[in-house]
Amino acid sequence: MQTAFLLVYTIMPTAILFVPGITSKYSKNDAWISTILAGCMGFGVAYLASILTRKYPSETVVQFSEKILGKWFGKAMGLIYALYFLYVGYFVQREFSDFMITFVLPKTPIEVVIATFTLLSAYGLYLGLEVLGRSNSVVAWIGFSALFFVIAFITKDMKLENLQPILQKTTWSEVFMGALAPGSWMSECAIIMMFAPYMDKPEKSLKMNFLAMTILTLILTLVVVSGIGVLGPELLGRLNFPFFNLVKYVEPAEFLERIDPIFITIWITGMVMKFSIYYFTGVLGIAQSFKLKSYRPLVLPTGLLLTALSLSSWENIIELKEFSRMVFPPSVLFVTVGCTFLLALGEWFRRLLKKENRG
């Protein structure tokens, strides 16, 4: 269950902020269909990743890539995964800092926000994955409760006509284009291939991966439906952080007019967990690629590198949003779908050749 929650929080904190706006920009009022298609994509990647995890329960993807593809190609593949984890890591850093300086700490320098965020996560890495997993389990239950609380109060202001007519204003090609961004986030479940050696029961990885995908598909679909129902697809597609605007819109009772500070507190905790997971898998992958005894000496130098990259890669939030829509999805899918499929195919051929040799 800790594994399932780690997978959910690997994806959810950033997905609920960006996916509604990006998806509705393409598929308009049919964006909820796009999130369901994205869920199907996530289930496909979850299946492939879990099959590999169960075949190599004592190794990470960085380690078993060499067994499947050979020494040099396997080492290159493992390094691609490790760099991918770090790539998502500094993207998450910038998402977090841009949100914070936009809504929470507008007068605080972005460098201070990122440095504090990174140091807190670095401390978690020194404590180890078990501490991250246990902490994440607590955060997850609070986060789920808060999210469904918000959505429940939003429903009274929804206009169902905003969701109609179904597939009349958009084409299937636009719906599929709208599914690419959430599909790339959902495909991040491939990260389970880094958790196998730490799982108590790696043979249950498929079940936990599917559970995580079910939870995420449900959450993203509810968030998108709520956004379209309250704000409409046009406005939803123009906002930088549409779900946060929905949270500010909610007034649960006369004595409780604003719940966005509560949401921000829970969201910050979730973002720390998400970044910590990618930070951990990245430094662990680098350490395993170069056969280091421990990943801990890499934690601070890697944190400095990620901070520098997150500060220099985007000029402003507009560039970050366009990157999230145009560049991030295909680059993530290249690794999570392309490389994972290649490994699964390589494993199938390897076992086929073994059977022929025995015969």
- pLDDT tens readout for residues 87-141: 999 999 998 998 889 888 889 999 999 999 999 999 999 998 888 888 888 888 8
Name the band, by pLDDT with cuts 50, 70 and 90, for residue 257.
low
Number of structural domains (the chain) is: 1
- Whole domain around residue 311: which residue ranges? 2-358
Cross-strand bridge partners of residue 256: 253
CATH number at residue 90: 1.20.1740.10
Q: What does the alpha-carbon distance between residue 250 and residue 99 come to, in Å, rounded to a whole number?
A: 19
Residue 253, SS3? strand
Name the band, by pLDDT with cuts 50, 70 and 90, for residue 359.
low
pTM over 0.75: yes
Residue 256, SS3? strand
- Determine which helix (DSSP H) or strand (DSSP E) holds 260, and give its type and residue range: helix 260-289
- pLDDT tens readout for residues 164-204: 888 877 888 888 988 888 898 899 989 989 988 888 888 88
Question: What pLDDT score was predicted for residue 236?
Answer: 80
How many CA within 13 A on the CB side of residue 102? 15
Q: What does the alpha-carbon distance between residue 132 and residue 189 come to, in Å, rounded to a whole number?
A: 17
The answer to whether residues 122 and 301 touch, using CB atoms and an 8 Å cutoff, is no
Q: Which two tokens stand for residue 257?
A: 């007019």
Q: Which segments of 210-264 are extended strands (E)?
A: none
